[in-house]
Homo-oligomer: A and B are copies of this chain.
Amino acid sequence: MKNEMELSIAALSQNESFARSTVAAFVSQIDPTMEELTELKTVVSEAVTNAIIHGYDENPNGRIFIQTSIEEDVVTLTITDQGKGIPNIQTAMEPLYTSKPELERSGMGFTIMENFMDEVSIQSTETTGTTVFLKKWLTKSTLPSN
């Protein structure tokens, strides 16, 4: 059976851990391995942090939308901000590229997402915001708990 939730949070750094554990709690319904759960938490953390730092330039009035759906053994995540957008997605996705070295960003966010998920795609328009689509097939999945 398919299940789906949507979470909307204020762009505050203390919500990063809340966001990743909420997604993990939801996905737990389809019995992921501990490793898969850590990978999912990590990518949520990366995308939410990007929305806060890059999308909203740390303006806490911004809102971040996290949609999670689970169906059989597939997890789909959509993380959206209505921030400033990414001028050049190709460049942004390069390992080690960061537009904010002064904040000690490592430029590894998208690289981690690509390594930990099976599908990553980014949609972004300057001034209207960014959406990151992420998809992962769980390996040791059991039947949905219902």
Binding site for B on A (CB under 8 A): 1, 3-10, 12, 14-15, 18, 21-22, 25-26, 29, 145-146
Contacts and interface: CB of A to CB of B under 8 A. Distances in A.
Contact of A145 (B1, B8, B14): B14
Contacts of A8: 5-8
A interface, by DSSP: helix, strand, loop or mixed?
mixed
A12 B70 CA distance: 13
Contact of A26 (B5, B18, B26): B18
Given A6-B7, A6-B9, A8-B8, 10 more contacts: A1-B12, A3-B12, A3-B14, A3-B15, A5-B8, A5-B15, A7-B8, A7-B22, A12-B146, A18-B29
A146 B18 contact: no
